[in-house]
Structure 1
């Protein structure tokens, strides 16, 4: 796996990497957990993005 540069994404990818040790019937909850974490990470990136421009017209 490649490094993402973001600890939360790396943790999510690591969680997926452990699926081989989990029974298949337990994969869906892991996918949902990882997806939720990735969505939260993306949302926080949007919240932290600087506003484009200086607001002066």
Structure 2
């Protein structure tokens, strides 16, 4: 589909994005629920960034 990397390097983001793999097996009408779950997971991962040591320092 795209040339995007399969992993982001952040376990929490990768876990959230893993939910997108379901899209191929679900009817289009169920996609919104999957996108909402992925979005929530990404929001939680972003919110927890302050709780982890900065890997780039």
TM over 0.5: yes
Do structure 1's residue 36 and structure 2's residue 37 form an aligned pair? Answer: no
Deviation of 1:43 (Å): 0.5
4, 10, 17: which one aligns with 2:14: 10
4+ residue runs of structure 1 moved beyond 3 angstroms? Answer: none
CA RMSD, aligned part only? 1.7
TM-score after normalising by structure 1: 0.71
- For residue 21 of structure 1, the aligned residue among 22, 25, 41 is 25
* Structure 2 residues without counterparts, runs of 5 or longer: none
Listed one character per residue, the Cα deviations across residues 13-38 of structure 1 (whole Å, up to 9, x for unaligned) are: 22112201111111111111110110
Mark the runs of 5 or more structure 1 residues left unpaired by the alignment: 51-57
